[in-house]
Amino acid sequence: MLMKRWLIVFAALVLLLAACQSAPVEHVDEFREAYIASVRAAYISSALEHSGWQIALVGDVEVSRTGISFSLQNRTDLEFNYGAAWELAYYSGGDWLPVPHLPQEIEWAWSGIGFSLQSGEVQEYHPSFEWLMGELANGRYMLIKDGWLGEWPGGERVYVLVEFFVSAETRRIWRR
């Protein structure tokens, strides 16, 4: 199933690249955005299929329209290693979809920053999404982080999912 999805994403990439070569310049950005959205959707789908109990949400979750604070605990005997980026998805019509980025020119770069969460350790996180996605509308959301247990390469890939809600009645603290 996963291989089929990656094959679909690869085919879409090939088609988009072919279209970009023959498309007028004004359409290249549309193709690029469609490609990025398809890669983000495939990532979300993979995370939902492979999430586990290893890295768990603990304590209270503080939610606002522009950011969130929460704590994670590594419940394994191995170190959890991960990068800086989080993915943000929203629930609509029975599916988890990527939250659209703001329509501004943002220069993307891969960050070589790595972090780790030791076995048994609890770490607090405060991701802000205002700079990239603006204020969130009312709805059901999920932050997604991937990383690996143990040494890289060769460690087990793990996804962390943090689900939360934004509404007119949302208090600052949402309890699990």
The whole-number average pLDDT for the span 156-162 is 92
Q: What is the pLDDT of residue 8?
A: 56
Q: Is the pLDDT of residue 143 over 90?
A: yes
How would you label 89-128 residue by residue, b for 16+ Cβ within 10 Å and e otherwise? bbeeeeebebbebeeeeeeeeeeeeeeebeeeeebebeee
User: Mean pLDDT, the chain, as a whole number?
Assistant: 80
Considering the four listed CATH numbers 3.30.70, 2.60.40, 1.20.1510, 1.10.287, the one that applies to the domain covering 53-103+113-176 is 2.60.40
SS3 content of the chain, % helix, strand, coil (to 5): 30, 35, 35
Which one-letter DSSP state was computed for residue 170? Answer: -
Beta-carbon count within 10 A of 59 CB: 14
Query: Using H for helix, E for strand and C for coil, what is the string for 44-105?
Result: HHHHHHHECCCEEEEEEEEECCCEEEEEEEECCCCCEEEECCCEEEEEECCEEEECCCCCCC
Closest CA to 83 of 152, 146, 163, 154: 146
What confidence category does residue 173 fall into, taking pLDDT thresholds of 50, 70 and 90? very low
The whole-number average pLDDT for the span 47-70 is 90
Beta-carbon count within 10 A of 176 CB: 11
Looking at per-residue pLDDT, the higher value among 137 and 17 belongs to 137
CA distance 28 to 16: 9
CA distance 130 to 88: 12
Q: Is the pLDDT of residue 33 over 60?
A: yes
End-to-end CA distance of the chain: 31
- Residue in this structure with the two tokens 């309890």, named with its chain if needed: 175
- 60-112, pLDDT tens digit by residue? 899 988 889 999 999 999 999 998 888 999 999 999 999 987 766 555 555 56
Is the bond into 153 cis (omega within 30 degrees of 0)?
Answer: yes
- 120-132, pLDDT tens digit by residue? 999 999 988 887 8
Q: What is the pLDDT of residue 152?
A: 73
Angle at 114 between CA 113 and CA 116, to 5 degrees: 150
